[in-house]
Structure 1
Amino acid sequence: MAESSRDVILARIRHGLAQPAPLPPRPDFEVPVHPPLANPDAVVAFAESFQRVGGEFYYCESLAQLAVQVAGFQQRQQVGAPYVWEPAMQALLRTAGVAFRADEADFIAHADLSLTSCEALVARTGSVLVSAATASGRRLSIYPDQHLVVARPSQVVSEIGEALRVVQARYGGQMPSMVSLTSGPSRTADIEKTLVLGAHGPRRLALFLLEDDDAALNDAALN
């Protein structure tokens, strides 16, 4: 008597259940999650990634060049002196001859430009890691229309995890109340897929990478 289709299916099921299922391969947790950076130089990789996500990158060999680059940015964007609240950063800009606003007078009405330091730069994503631990607090990296960041090559790390470990090592048990990864200008396309810049933060982000040798004139300004 020929087997029915039902018998054939049940036989296959019984045969399958009799064979132990192969175990999935054990993951190697020592292997990096991401492939190597496209550029072996992490600083160059960061600059490429940062510009790819819409940031404006400026390389400065000296404080004098920093002053020229910032002045050029202000002229092109038709903006005044940036608000700067970090004492060490104020000292750095003072040495460079860059004018800034150190007070909070009329901040809400005139906060078109801010300048801050950062905790780290992530080469993989072109992100700037900022925190509320500095005198800039939460406002200077979020509220102004345009945000300038002064950093140095030694702050570049390859991955986000490394950047978070930098913050953890720096602050230990007193972690900042806010840590933010900024990847380019604030943007959204939630409404009718129309891209809008500046929806949740600055619509322009510019980074001035000051060489470590010159930054040593006032090393504390970027720590």
Structure 2
Amino acid sequence: MSLFKKLFGSKQKQEASGTGTDQRGKFMPEIKLPTDEKFTINFKKNGGKFLYCDSIEEIYDCFNSILSENNWTQEQVCCIDSKLSTTFQKYNFSKSNTCQNATLLLSPCENLVADNGAILISSNQIKESKLNDLPDNFIIFATTSQLVDTIGEGLRGIKNKNKNQIPTNITTIKHFSIKEENDFLTYGSSSKNLYLLLLEDL
């Protein structure tokens, strides 16, 4: 499954056949997009930066490129999640669990929500830290199997995976441009400069 092939391929087919949304009557039902395509469109609309990878080596290459592009060092990266720290064990990250002096948080997530292009996270990833207390810059590591259509579906998944102890501090990040904080529509939400490293696992 290639998100980019689906996304760009479907547009080309529409243009070639002339059956885009402009040709549809106003009473026709809306075309239901695949979950991955819908997430990609909404995530980019929210200002997120998206890197699709076929292998863990590609993930490392993209991660290095992000650090280089922003002049960030490995020591400025905080990774609270122990499993992800193991995946990125060749890097020299900040050892602090609070990310107090870090520039960047590297984190997994619970789910990627297609309906609004949001990232669903919980105490499994960020402990009891509030979003405002975490760095302004996030790199989220996720897999294609974590894509869900709605927040409700994501919450049910969290409940099913954690039957013994449901995580706390469940929240979504859906504004990925720091300047948006001045917009009254995003008042009270925490905007993050966010990169998504998405690994194909289906």
TM exceeds 0.5? yes
- Cα shift at 1:140: 8.3
Q: How many residues align?
A: 169
The aligned residue for residue 93 of structure 1 is 88
Distance of 2:32 and 2:70 partners within structure 1? 32
Percent of paired sites with the same residue = 24
Contact 1:144–1:202 (CA under 8 A) maintained in structure 2: no
1:27-176, aligned counterparts within 5 Å? 38-40=32-34, 42-81=35-74, 82-94=77-89, 97=90, 99-104=91-96, 107-108=99-100, 110-134=101-125, 136-139=126-129, 142=132, 143-172=134-163, 174-176=165-167
Q: Which has the higher helix share?
A: 2
Distance of 1:203 and 1:100 partners within structure 2? 23
The aligned residue for residue 180 of structure 1 is 171
Which structure 1 residue ranges, 5 or more long, are not aligned? 1-34, 214-223
Root-mean-square deviation over aligned CA pairs: 2.8
- Cα shift at 1:84: 1.0
Per the alignment, in what secondary structure is the counterpart of residue 39 of structure 1? coil
Distance of 2:119 and 2:170 partners within structure 1? 10
Per the alignment, in what secondary structure is the counterpart of residue 157 of structure 2? helix
Contact 2:103–2:135 (CA under 8 A) maintained in structure 1: yes
Distance of 2:94 and 2:108 partners within structure 1? 14
State the TM-score, normalized to the length of structure 2: 0.72
State the TM-score, normalized to the length of structure 1: 0.66
- Cα shift at 1:163: 0.8
1:106–1:116: structure 2 CA closer, same or farther, 3 Å change rule?
Answer: closer
Distance of 1:137 and 1:37 partners within structure 2? 39
Query: Could you say which structure has the larger radius of gyration?
Result: 1
